[in-house]
Amino acid sequence: MNSIITELERSKATMTEWFEHLHRSPELSMREEKTAAYIEQVLRDIGGYQIETGVGKHGIVASLKVGDGSKTIGLRADFDALPIDEAEGLSCRSETPGVAHLCGHDGHATMLLAAARHLAATRNFNGTVRLIFQPGEETMEGGPAMIADGLFERFPVDAVFGLHNIPGLEKGKFYFREGNAMAAVDNWEIEITGKGGHGAFPNLAIDPVVAGSSLVMALQTVVSRNIAPANSAVVTVGAFQAGQAGNVIAQNAVLRLSIRTTTPQDREMVLGNVRRLVRQQAESFGCVCLIREGIPGAVLTNDPEETRKAADIAIAAFGEDRVCVQGPAYLASEDFAFMLQERKGTYCFIGNGNSQFVHHPGYVFDTDILPVGAAYWVALTEGYLR
């Protein structure tokens, strides 16, 4: 395995070129037309793969069969960006105002492309590998869209695997966890409608900003007063948008919520309480409300057997000191959870070292882990398809 890492390290300049292109040209979830075209072109330049595009809108599946083996493995990487401005002073910055790769999906796609090239060149396995390049992870749309488009019926796999970089974890170290590893997320939009008016005459208006502000505070009690202390959940109001001028009382206010839970029972209870508080708070201020519920969330649950198998392969490849076999769980979410509902598999983390956390304007993906992540995909494919 050391020879594979060494070989991939020799290709780091090419990986960096792919990464920097993706990083400079980010696209938002389910709008990744140019990103998908670039990934497709790199795959065609590599050669050897049967490539299907447009799966779940912009998704790509690249398949390579070697030998007569009947087993098939799926490897998934995401490639969408976030609606955030990147911090100034970074060496490679987004060229799209208001959009940036601040979660490392550009790095994830690069790792899988690097593994694709190595696997096509060496063909040191017996069976079929399918590379799944997925759009729309940040909005929880891409995974369900690919599944609805027949992902696993059109491109069958025995198991499917995913990977994500995590700042704060030791750089280049892998972390596996059996069972629940990430939370279910429900992304909701709340619209509160009052009566607009002049800022000098609040008595002639019904202010949705006041109603929305009261709702924000009320939502803080959902977890603190209802979730058992031993359990985990979070309700975040990530956006509150209303009005354009200080002397105008807005007609509408929009709140965008991220609701995260780790058990079906807590999810049902939390969502019910949010619905109740939204209705009651709006009514108490004389407003009306509209709740737009997003794609239902799912807890990411790793299959124990596949997790142990992947961890053992990683230990053989990198050594016990570079692998944690029961790593941390997070209240962050992943739409890879929906793929794990369809096929067994596991989702692991690779440490990104001491950077700002993902979704922060100053987050930086450490390109030193590109060859390491690619080596994991190669090792997993060769180990699974012996």
Rounded Cα distance between 30 and 58, Å, is: 7
Rounded Cα distance between 224 and 227, Å, is: 6
**Residue 103 assigned to a binding site:** yes
Beta strands 72-78 and 159-166, pairing class? parallel
CA geometry: angle at 349 spanning 163 and 6, to 5°? 75
Selection from 334, 270, 291, 301 nearest residue 141 by Cα:
334
Rounded Cα distance between 192 and 208, Å, is: 6
Rounded Cα distance between 120 and 264, Å, is: 42
Beta strands 127-134 and 59-66, pairing class? antiparallel
Rounded Cα distance between 364 and 171, Å, is: 13
Cβ neighbours of 355 (radius 10 Å): 18
Given the structure tokens 């059996």, which residue do they identify?
178
**Residue 359 assigned to a binding site:** yes
Rounded Cα distance between 294 and 357, Å, is: 25
Beta carbons within 8 Å of 95's beta carbon, 6+ residues apart: 24, 25
Secondary structure (H, E, C), 139-156: CCCHHHHHHHCCHHHHCC
**Residue 164 assigned to a binding site:** yes
Q: Are 171 and 366 in contact (CB under 8 A)?
A: yes
Q: Summarize the annotated binding site as residue ranges.
A: 103, 105, 138, 164, 359
Binding-site residue positions for Mn(2+): 103, 105, 138, 164, 359
